[in-house]
Amino acid sequence: MMTAIRVPSRRLAASLSLAFIAIAASRITAFEIPFPQTGAQIRSSIVSSDVLATSSPSLPVPITQTVKLSSGTSAEIITCRPKVLSPNFLESIFRTDGNKSNKKPVLAFLHGSFHASWCWAEHYMPFFAERGYECVSLSLQGTGGTPAIPQGSKKVQISSHVADFDAFLKGLSSKSSNNLGLELGDNPQVVLIGHSFGGLTNMKWLEKYYSSSDRADVNLAGVGLLCSVPPSGNGPMTLRYLLRSFKDSYKITVGFAMKKAIVDKTLCRELFFGGDEVESGISDEQLEKYQSHFERDTVATIDLKDLAGKLPSKLVDKKSGKAPFADDLRSLALKPFVLGATGDFIVDKEGVIETCKYMGLDVQEDVKMIDSPHDVMLGAKWMNGAEAILKWIEGV
């Protein structure tokens, strides 16, 4: 049954207009403070200088802060909010369900090894925020401004990363008792976007999500995995590299296990960015900054011995290669998205195919490869990955 709407008087209409303008002004200006130093001083000054030096003044500016997760971790997060009000902004003011206006989902980014949330702030977060998407990212324990627990630990178990990520995602909702105060609404739709090891963490979180009774606490809309470590981990991939090229296998081993990528510029370029300065679009000065990030973001690393016994592949259907939750993913608003890169030195196409199967996708139709190195979000070719993600989210 439709309800008649009374037209307000001119005086009331003028008052409402002024109120809308005031709210709009507060929303637009509130997010223009670049990376306030609120407990994340280790990273924020470095990240802000990188982002502001490379971003257009008209783009939304990422903001770094420290939050207390319900898992007990004091975590660094970065947010990037749209500057322009959503077309549905007026509708949101009169909604009674507590949800924010924007029907576009929140994009929750998760980084891989040697990285932290800063890697999304240079290009991806401003790119998507400019197109109306609320963007959030978490720095896992031992990276960014997020210390490992207990203090001084050199290894972090995958269960700790999953617990933090779970607390982070639940905290996005304003109705959560442990909400992070981001004002994203009571039940925001969330799209996960994980890169490299962050993709594997997403898989482990999905195991928890689909076996949990509190699934309603996260309104999951989609899962995107970029150059993701496959369900079987790095071991089988390293063996494949060894069979194809001992030299390449050696580079991966010393680059990661011995952390040589932190000090060797040529090796760092090969592993993460592809090509020389001209081809990658990354100057030696930028490379040195990234290496300084890598050094700080590897003080505590994933406990590989612990991980070996908990890989998602332990639960894989031996015949189809599917995850135990693969069929459940069909109910999401977005079909799972798996992206590989033709210039990826770390994750090969076989690994991408394995991940596609695990997520219940059709290998013939759903394996997507773009022209990019492993770090799809940085360097000269970052737009290739960003546009592929945008087409997926918008259903193009």
What are 82-133's pLDDT values in tens digits?
Answer: 986 544 444 443 344 444 444 799 999 999 999 999 999 999 999 999 999 9
pLDDT at 23: 33
Q: Is position 303 within any domain?
A: yes
274 in a domain, yes or no?
Answer: no
Total structural domains in the chain?
1
**For residue 215, is it within any domain?**
yes
Q: Is the pLDDT of residue 390 over 90?
A: yes
**pLDDT tens-digit series, residues 29-70:** 222 222 233 333 333 333 433 443 344 667 899 999 999 999
Answer whether the bond into residue 150 is a cis peptide, omega within 30°. yes
Instruction: Compute the C-alpha angle 246/250/251, nearest 5°.
Output: 120
Note whether residue 152 is domain-resident.
yes
**118: exposed, middle or buried (Cβ count in 10 Å: 0-12, 13-18, 19+):** buried
What is the CATH number for 357?
A: 3.40.50.1820
- Assigned domain for 15 exists: no
253 within domain boundaries: no
Q: Is 238 domain-assigned? A: no
β-strand 74-80 against 135-138: which pairing, if any? antiparallel
Bigger pLDDT: 5 vs 333: 333
pTM score: 0.83
What is the distance, to the nearest Å, from the Cα of residue 383 to the centroid of all Cα atoms in its chain?
16
Residue 389 lies in a domain: yes
Residue partners of 2: CB distance under 8 A and separation at least 6: none
Helices (H), 171-303: 197-210, 235-244, 246-256, 265-268, 277-280, 284-296
The domain in which residue 288 lies consists of 32-93+102-233+281-393
Q: Following DSSP, what letter does each residue of 161-186 receive, concatenated?
A: HHHHHHHHHHTTSTTSTT--S---BS
